[in-house]
Structure 1
Amino acid sequence: MSTKKVSAILLASTLVLVTACSSNGGTQSTAPAETPAAETPAPEKKGPTSITMLTGVWGQPPVDIEKSAIFNKLEELTNTDLNITVVPVSNYDQNLNLVMAANELPELVHAFNSKAPTLVKAINQGAFYDLSEFDLSQYPNLQQIPELIWNNSKINGKVYGVPSPVGLNAQDFMIRKDWMEKLNLKEPTTLDELKELLIAFREGDPDGNGQKDTFGLVGRGYGLLGAFGVQEPQIEGDMMLLEWMTPGYRDYLVYLNELYAKDVMPKEYFLMKGSDTKDMLTNGIAGAQSAGLHNAGELTVEVQKKDPNASFMPLNPIQGPNGYTGKTQLGYYGMWLIPTSVDKAKVPDILAYLDQTATDEVNNLMNFGIQGVHYDSLEGQKATASDAQIKLKDEEAGQGTIVFVNKYRPYNDVTKNGFAAELEEQLIESIDNHIELSTANPFEILISDTFSSRYNDVFKDLDATIIKVTTGAISLEEWDTFVEQMKANPTVQQMMKEFKAQYDLANPQ
């Protein structure tokens, strides 16, 4: 509160008192004059919090942060004085490792890969604060992040960073709805019905050109894993089996092999890149894939540019022998950490900065700029701007400079795209169904130093062996032998022990 405001309040009180005294029928008061109360000095306004920061940028970096109207506005909104080092995402982890090795960490650090081995090692050595030691309940915007996301971001069962949420989502199958309807099929509710639908997409001429030139499935169909129980932790003594060692993974390979034998998948599916599968889907060559559910909306937008009647729909979770298809996602990407070299008394101020950035105002500022300067209007998360305005925004803010916490929006991957209302509603309903029925991959939140450091050399033949089983190049018995050999490997056993220890930390009895 400023001194000027305090004085105004005191003056108003005095006027009320004088008026009351003066209205006493003109009778003079004989009471002794009161000694005026001493004016309470106003507390000094807290100056900006200075914060040094290391973060990344996805594309073009800001030209000059100090002269940027966008960054100046960010400092104004958060009452901070920011000293930001921006590094391209392409070599960010390398730069972060160098800074940690040199013991030159700034006061606030962004980590894109929060489970990176070198980062986890630094955490284990005490380089970063466990933020659960601080009262996080006083930060209302951070409190909007669901407990599930906080739990998924924990390391060794502790909160070492503020996760940047990306909303709830799941991965599962999406199919060409118009193909399904043309072939008089219904949405599959069993794995057998799913297989029949995918085969029909290959053999039933869904595009109506009289040729067998469409495929039922592109990609590896990872949405099937949950239905076979692969995502349920499987423990043997003091070891946690890797997902591909489980009986359920063997069943998944059998299912995929049956599809491959029916020519449902491209012969060299394992060589295809993400851009290749997208091209096949949007050009009417393939009818299904397993991916993030919001992709059904994005694919629909693209395919309708060529065929207005075409559309993709997400499938609801399909019950299998040991669970449901699909996989729920972590709900965050990257997190902010505060080094223990920072004065502990300053940590709440840095957390306050992060809290203040997790708002529509700051998110929109960094994503779109200042209205009237960098864009004309904003509807949801879609800005109307000229090429010149976009260029100016990219120069001043950079293209995807990470200096804030994403505001939590429950279905952000869906709602940010401006899909048609019916499609958006369908996608949100499907995500809700998956969150209720599908499971997450536990290995996405667990850490094994041995796994991270030795994966490439120990498992150099793993992917090739999986492909050979899928394509029928080797038998299931040969797969079983491979798995048993890997389970007997001392290095692999060490990995499984470390994963089991991590699982126990995350799931205390």
Structure 2
Amino acid sequence: MNRIQNWKQLRVLGAVSVALTTLIAGCGGQEAAPSDKTPTAVGEKEAPKEPLKLSMMNMYYTAEPPKADNEAVKLIEAHTNAKLDITWVPNSAYNDKINATIAGGELPKIMMIASNKSSGIVNAVKSGMFWEVGPYLKDYPNLSKLNPLVLNNISIDGKIYGIYRSRPVAREGIIYRKDWLDAVGLSEPKTIDDFYNVVKAFATKDPDKNGKDDTFGMYEGRGMNGFQTILAWYGGPNLYGLQDGKVVPDFMTKEYVDALKLYKRMYDEKLINLDFAVVPGTKRQEAVNQGKAGLIISTLDDVNAGFNDLVKANPNAVLDVASRINGPKGERLMLYNGGYVGVYMFPKTSIKTEQELKQILGFLDKLGDKKLQNLFEWGVEGKHFKVENGKPTRTDGKAYETDINSIYQLRYDDGSQTDAGEDAAIVKKYKQMFQRNAEIAIANPAESFESATLAEKGSELTKIVQDARVKYIMGNIDEAGWNQAVDQWRKSGGDKVIEEYTAQYNKQKK
């Protein structure tokens, strides 16, 4: 999984803003007030007999788009009494497609917006392009149970303009070679020092016993996927934190420098790959598969996919996961991506009335029913799983990948209603970690805030910090040089960002 490592960079969808002036005129100046009448979910007695026709845009991560006759989609349509017309777009081209679609003016009724806090989308919301849905959520059995914290994270000016796609709030940790850990005589790391000692042993103690000095302890990519997790261990904030009454970015804290120093130590001692600054994040799993590295920091559920080549090359290889590392402020993890990945939003140009909006919200509410949560989780009984001792057990992982995983991005629920199954031990372990670790997840207090300065200068400001971070780790600048880069960030617009966020934080407190 890719993780956004920049500290709240807003990606600008340029053509969105260009198209706004031509589209907003047709959106209407005011939206209808919520009705007192409880809305009718699709499929109930008052609903139309004909299936609700719904156009949607969504992304896929698989090699090929889902097939038109996908069995799971047919089951979803049957359960929700809907006919879906889904435009599937590869994730690598998704933002560009959203940009072009809005510019073209022909919008589907449900748009999965990946970059919902980009300046283009925020401006579109403020201009009236999308329906506000917050007042309606209480009327639906599933939508009314959405996490208030995550709803706040997706809000714009305190209002809810979509249905977020839920993800575990504490999702990241260490994926490591358990057989290597046993080979070097160490136990699962519990502290930052333990973690360093494991990384060092994997790099220096010939964990694969081939008599060669050819392994790295940890493999890292140019996005520095592990940095925020290590920052959490040291007690740092989640992208932004409170300091002397102000909302400041994480890199202005002592804890951030502590994390930098650990990275620099591992780099100087050649415990991590020295080309990390130019290596794509996808190479991290490859390095583990090829026996080049002993661990990566990633989303824990990655351990369930992407490592088939490791077992093929080395049948004796064993992977394990760890998540709770005790640091100066105890055990901490970052709340992952605000607790969501993308938001379903509803254009007014394609949804003309409040009644139609309610029908579409009814569809989404039923999409979160227990039956469909189990469909996303397990697939079709007899094809993807069987029931043993009253619990579902996966039978055909390849068919599940083709039929279910290919359309997984349709899912927005948190999985709370799914049946517990006979998972593999490693899957059961990380699922328990997801639940248990939610209590130590650190939120970003500025998640729902906006910054005009970041919208204008976000890329420039982020580059200052990211370049300095790499230079510090590689020894091209010292701590004084790092502080100079922070000062440059502040003078280039950063102080204005702090001012904007602090004002919104103080307003929110009232």
Counterpart check, 1:434 vs 2:434: no
Q: Shift of the alpha carbon at 1:291?
A: 0.9
* Counterpart residue number, 2:255: 248
* Counterpart residue number, 2:274: 267
* Counterpart residue number, 1:153: 154
Counterpart check, 1:120 vs 2:127: no
Two-structure CA RMSD over aligned residues (Å): 3.8
1:196-211 equivalence runs, <5 A: 196-211=197-212
Q: Shift of the alpha carbon at 1:83?
A: 5.5
Amino acid at match of 1:293: L
Amino acid at match of 1:335: V
Q: Is the 8 A contact 1:228 1:321 kept in 2?
A: yes
* Counterpart residue number, 1:175: 176
Residues 444 and 207 of structure 1, relative CA distance in 2, 3 Å threshold: farther
Residues 108 and 250 of structure 1, relative CA distance in 2, 3 Å threshold: same
Counterpart check, 1:493 vs 2:495: yes
Q: Is the 8 A contact 1:300 1:310 kept in 2?
A: no
Residues 449 and 305 of structure 1, relative CA distance in 2, 3 Å threshold: farther
Query: TM-score normalised to the size of structure 2?
Result: 0.75
1:209-254 Cα offsets, whole Å, 9 max, x none, are: 2222211111143221112232254345785222222221111111
* Counterpart residue number, 1:27: none
Q: Is the 8 A contact 1:137 1:143 kept in 2?
A: yes
Q: Shift of the alpha carbon at 1:49?
A: 6.4
Counterpart check, 1:359 vs 2:359: no
Amino acid at match of 1:334: G
Helix, strand or coil: the match of 1:469?
helix
1:49-448 equivalence runs, <5 A: 50-58=52-60, 60=64, 74-80=76-82, 87-101=89-103, 104-134=106-136, 136-219=137-220, 220=224, 221-222=226-227, 223-231=229-237, 233-235=240-242, 240-298=247-305, 302-329=309-336, 330-340=338-348, 342-359=352-369, 361-362=371-372, 376-379=383-386, 384=396, 399-400=406-407, 404-410=410-416, 420-421=424-425, 423-442=426-445, 446-448=449-451
Q: Which runs of 5+ in 2 are unaligned?
A: 1-44, 387-391
1:468-509 Cα offsets, whole Å, 9 max, x none, are: 1112121111111221222222x222333333345456x535
Q: Is the 8 A contact 1:61 1:401 kept in 2?
A: no
* Counterpart residue number, 2:25: none
Distance (Å, rounded) in 1 between the aligned partners of 2:67 and 2:291: 42
Residues 284 and 331 of structure 1, relative CA distance in 2, 3 Å threshold: same
Query: TM-score normalised to the size of structure 1?
Result: 0.75
Helix, strand or coil: the match of 1:234?
strand
Distance (Å, rounded) in 2 between the aligned partners of 1:181 and 1:319: 22
Residues 411 and 278 of structure 1, relative CA distance in 2, 3 Å threshold: farther
Helix, strand or coil: the match of 1:353?
helix
1:10-44 Cα offsets, whole Å, 9 max, x none, are: xxxxxxxxxxxxxxxxxxxxxxxxxxxxxxxxx97
Residues 251 and 168 of structure 1, relative CA distance in 2, 3 Å threshold: closer
Work out which of the two has the higher radius of gyration on C-alpha atoms and give 1 or 2: 1
Q: Shift of the alpha carbon at 1:173?
A: 2.3
1:376-409 Cα offsets, whole Å, 9 max, x none, are: 454459574998x999x79xxx95386x443431
Q: Shift of the alpha carbon at 1:276?
A: 2.0
Residues 191 and 365 of structure 1, relative CA distance in 2, 3 Å threshold: closer
Distance (Å, rounded) in 2 between the aligned partners of 1:116 and 1:503: 20
Q: Shift of the alpha carbon at 1:163?
A: 1.3
Residues 319 and 367 of structure 1, relative CA distance in 2, 3 Å threshold: closer
Q: Which runs of 5+ in 1 are unaligned?
A: 1-42
1:178-211 Cα offsets, whole Å, 9 max, x none, are: 2222222223332222222221221222112222
Q: Is the 8 A contact 1:171 1:292 kept in 2?
A: yes
Amino acid at match of 1:337: M
Amino acid at match of 2:279: M
* Counterpart residue number, 1:472: 475
Helix, strand or coil: the match of 1:152?
helix
Q: Is the 8 A contact 2:166 2:413 kept in 1?
A: yes
Q: Is the 8 A contact 2:124 2:130 kept in 1?
A: yes
1:99-138 Cα offsets, whole Å, 9 max, x none, are: 545665443322122222211111122322221222x233
Distance (Å, rounded) in 2 between the aligned partners of 1:405 and 1:353: 12
* Counterpart residue number, 2:34: none
Amino acid at match of 2:127: Q
Helix, strand or coil: the match of 2:463?
coil
Distance (Å, rounded) in 2 between the aligned partners of 1:244 and 1:145: 32
Distance (Å, rounded) in 1 between the aligned partners of 2:209 and 2:74: 58
Q: Is the 8 A contact 2:170 2:441 kept in 1?
A: no
Distance (Å, rounded) in 1 between the aligned partners of 2:502 and 2:178: 42
Q: Is the 8 A contact 2:370 2:417 kept in 1?
A: no
Q: Is the 8 A contact 2:373 2:415 kept in 1?
A: no
Amino acid at match of 1:358: G
Distance (Å, rounded) in 1 between the aligned partners of 2:209 and 2:66: 51
Amino acid at match of 2:260: L
Residues 276 and 337 of structure 1, relative CA distance in 2, 3 Å threshold: closer
Aligned length: 450
Distance (Å, rounded) in 2 between the aligned partners of 1:84 and 1:298: 26
Percent identity of paired positions between Structure 1 and Structure 2:
24
Amino acid at match of 2:414: Y
